[in-house]
Amino acid sequence: MTNIARRFDILAIGNAIVDVISSAAPAFLIDRGIPHGSMRLIDAAEAETLYAAMAPGRQISGGSAANTVAGAAGLGVRSAFVGRVAADSLGDFFTHDIRAAGVHFATAPATGGRPTGRCLILVTPDGERTMNTYLGACQELDAADLDAELVAASGILYLEGYLWDPAAPRAAMQAAIKVARAAGNKVAFTLSDVFCVNGHRGDFRDLLESHVDIMFGNENEVKALYETDDLDAAMAELSRHACITVVTRSAKGAVVVGGGHRYEVPGEAVAQVVDTTGAGDLFAGGFLAGLVQGRTLPDCARMGCISAAEVISHFGARPDADLAALVAAKLG
Amino acid sequence: MTNIARRFDILAIGNAIVDVISSAAPAFLIDRGIPHGSMRLIDAAEAETLYAAMAPGRQISGGSAANTVAGAAGLGVRSAFVGRVAADSLGDFFTHDIRAAGVHFATAPATGGRPTGRCLILVTPDGERTMNTYLGACQELDAADLDAELVAASGILYLEGYLWDPAAPRAAMQAAIKVARAAGNKVAFTLSDVFCVNGHRGDFRDLLESHVDIMFGNENEVKALYETDDLDAAMAELSRHACITVVTRSAKGAVVVGGGHRYEVPGEAVAQVVDTTGAGDLFAGGFLAGLVQGRTLPDCARMGCISAAEVISHFGARPDADLAALVAAKLG
């Protein structure tokens, strides 16, 4: 441990993205061969074509790790974010919202390059979201953007697997891990999506082998990581590495393995699932906030479930309600 | 009547605006001396200051008359819109959404001038919206943007009082009225807001005296127009001019005077009022769609109430649900 005063409890590095959310009939996906519930990366041309075909939308700031720290900040945890927007109006919107959520955000916007990243989200009547992400300026984040002092001064470094795809941000995250570990801080990582796991299985396994203290994933991601259909086998593998392993199971809640114990926490009831975008992100935000507050692992998971339940009850992946009040009402 | 084939049932001219909607505590308004439930025009500097202080937001296309035709189009009525955005990403968003709603929109975006207009909307816990509008590029609409053939080919010309404030769009609307009347089309007008009525009372009265067939207003706007506290007296004045006079009364529904009769229609029940933005706009959209479909005046008003009830049950002033299906279920 160093003597640096901790300025933040959580520092997240991730994609700085604005979500463009529209309702879509299942046929809209089928006609275009887009797998229901998937996340895929698209280029600028496809983003334009798909957007032109989409129903009227709403724009709400997003980005997986950004959603996580917006949730954590709403739970009273000192949070910071590093990610790249462009100097354009979507970038201004992202910047406003994350700061208004109480998150420290100081990454300089890119000028003259690609525009701010956006995720075209098609929400089907079942509440499931299908995401089509144009990364844009997100890809231009590089190691020079990383303020080593900020990383060292943040208790938990949280990284999203989505950002492992482009090379420059990946290098920035690898550099950040070194700084965090040298400062004696924790490193948390989310597998993000099966496509990320399939694309970077070797890297992700290496990462878990030696560098990650807290790992988040859903059942499919964890199984994909170890190329098995047996969740317990995959979790046993994971538990050999990460100190804490958290597997989310949608409505069924979450399984947490840590400190030699395994806990199953049920999902939180939701009156109506409107849009599942951000469920995993807000789960991670609630869980990490619980850890920072020194709660037990099952209570951390319950904070995750409460936060996820709030965000899926409305459009958009940022909380509408006062998460701290929700947690206080349910957990005290 | 001319022999021009009617390409559209309704052509609206209005502000082309993107709404930026945030929740706000009542104290946020009080601290800044902003009247609860009001609409006011702000300049670029105030827009920036206020936005910086607002909570995280969502961006949803808006603009009063634009909301009205988005609603009418959702009810199966052939609709067109004229209004000015800038060539920027908010302008692209507005353009996408109104077209995706099924509305014909071909006004060229402004380049090099003010950015796309936006309305900073503060929604208090009572669901009431307080609107702070920066008109931006909206003000640059002028008579040269008006395609006279389009006006002549649209059965109803619908105008919003909000757009009476800047001079160039006002002149454009005055020119459009002449074209519409020469073509034997109907002219509909909404008083929009008490501030509009107070600012342009003489103009609005002149307009009603000779040029308007269908007039929309709420109780306060109608009273302000004739500077009286007596709604019936104001409505009697109005009825001397407009063929059809429609006064909306929030949850209490609407009063319609037309064809020598007066009808009172109750408001539509709403499980939870989330955001009243667009209630009057969608009422007008439903009412006008009913007229186009040849419905009775009370049924037109009920279509207005059904459409308004949908839009106040969620954030944003554009319909989320299938309005035609809602009307079919309730009115057949």
* Three-class secondary structure of residue A209 per DSSP: helix
Q: Across-strand partners of A248?
A: A218, A254
Residue partners of B86: CB distance under 8 A and separation at least 6:
B109, B110, B111, B113, B114, B115, B116, B136, B137
Q: Do B61 and A56 touch (CB under 8 A)?
A: yes
With a cut of 60, say whether residue B1 has pLDDT above it. no
Q: Which of A:290-319 have CB within 8 Å of B?
A: 315-316, 318
Quote the CA–CA distance of A121 and A20 in Å, as a whole number: 6
B244-303: per-residue pLDDT in tens? Answer: 999 999 999 999 999 889 999 999 999 999 999 999 999 999 999 999 999 999 999 999
Other beta carbons within 10 Å of B227: 10
Q: Which of A:67-86 have CB within 8 Å of B?
A: 70
Q: Do B316 and A58 touch (CB under 8 A)?
A: yes
B26-77: per-residue pLDDT in tens? Answer: 999 999 999 999 899 999 999 999 999 999 999 999 999 999 999 999 999 9
Q: Using the structure block, give the residue that is written with the tokens 């021009």.
A: B4
Q: Do A59 and B61 touch (CB under 8 A)?
A: no
From the list A55, A59, A93, which residue is nearest B100 (CB)? A55
Order of all β-strands in the sheet with B129-134 = A39-41, A129-134, A117-123, A17-23, A58-61, B58-62, B17-23, B117-123, B129-134, B39-41
Quote the CA–CA distance of A233 and A235 in Å, as a whole number: 5
Order of all β-strands in the sheet with A8-13 = A104-105, A79-82, A8-13, A154-160, A186-190, A214-218, A244-248, A254-258, A261-265
Mutate to test the interface with A, among B89, B122, B277, B310 (most CBs of A within 10 A): B89
Q: Do A96 and B56 touch (CB under 8 A)?
A: yes
Chain CA centroid to CA B96, Å:
19
How does residue A332 score in pLDDT terms, banded at 50, 70 and 90? confident
Q: Do B100 and A54 touch (CB under 8 A)?
A: yes
Chain CA centroid to CA B95, Å:
17
With a cut of 60, say whether residue A3 has pLDDT above it. no
pLDDT of residue A104: 97
Q: Using the structure block, give the residue that is written with the tokens 């979500």.
A: A19
pLDDT of residue B236: 85
The residue that leads in pLDDT, B6 or B302, is: B302
Q: Kindly provide the ipTM of the predicted complex, given to two decimals.
A: 0.90
**Mean of pLDDT over chain B:** 94
Q: Which of B:178-217 have CB within 8 Å of A?
A: none
Question: Cα dist. B240→A192, B161, B171, B209, B236 in Å?
Answer: 66, 20, 25, 8, 7
The nearest alpha carbon in chain B to A91 belongs to: B89
Which amino acid belongs to residue A22? S
How does residue A1 score in pLDDT terms, banded at 50, 70 and 90? very low
From the list A56, A100, A320, which residue is nearest B100 (CB)? A56
Q: What is the mean pLDDT of residues A80-100?
A: 96
Mutate to test the interface with B, among A20, A28, A59 (most CBs of B within 10 A): A59
pLDDT of residue A239: 79
Q: Across-strand partners of B133?
A: B41, B119
pLDDT of residue A210: 81
With a cut of 80, say whether residue A211 has pLDDT above it. yes
A vs B: CB pairs below 8 A: 61
Residue-range domains of chain A with CATH: 8-16+64-113+137-331 (3.40.1190.20)
The answer to whether A331 and A303 are in contact (CB under 8 A) is yes
Quote the CA–CA distance of A186 and A177 in Å, as a whole number: 9
pLDDT of residue A2: 42
Q: Do A96 and B57 touch (CB under 8 A)?
A: yes
* Three-class secondary structure of residue B181 per DSSP: helix
A291-320: per-residue pLDDT in tens? Answer: 999 999 999 999 999 999 999 999 999 999
For B37, list phi and psi in degrees, rounded to 5. 85, 0
How does residue B127 score in pLDDT terms, banded at 50, 70 and 90? very high
B72-114: per-residue pLDDT in tens? Answer: 999 999 999 999 999 999 999 999 999 999 999 999 999 999 9
How does residue B145 score in pLDDT terms, banded at 50, 70 and 90? confident
For A270, list phi and psi in degrees, rounded to 5. -130, 130
DSSP B116: P
Q: Which long-range contacts (CB under 8 A, 24 or more apart) does B220-226 make?
A: B220/B194, B221/B191, B221/B192, B221/B193, B221/B194, B221/B196, B221/B197, B222/B191, B222/B247, B224/B194, B224/B197, B224/B198, B225/B191, B225/B197, B225/B201
* Three-class secondary structure of residue B127 per DSSP: coil
For A62, list phi and psi in degrees, rounded to 5. -145, -140
B167-191: per-residue pLDDT in tens? Answer: 999 999 999 999 999 999 999 999 9
With a cut of 60, say whether residue A242 has pLDDT above it. yes
The nearest alpha carbon in chain A to B54 belongs to: A100
B23–chain A Cβ distance below 8 A for any pair = yes
Beta strand B244-248 with A117-123 is unpaired
A118–chain B Cβ distance below 8 A for any pair = no
Quote the CA–CA distance of B262 and A45 in Å, as a whole number: 55
The answer to whether A254 and A301 are in contact (CB under 8 A) is yes
A146-177: per-residue pLDDT in tens? Answer: 999 999 999 999 999 999 989 999 999 999 99
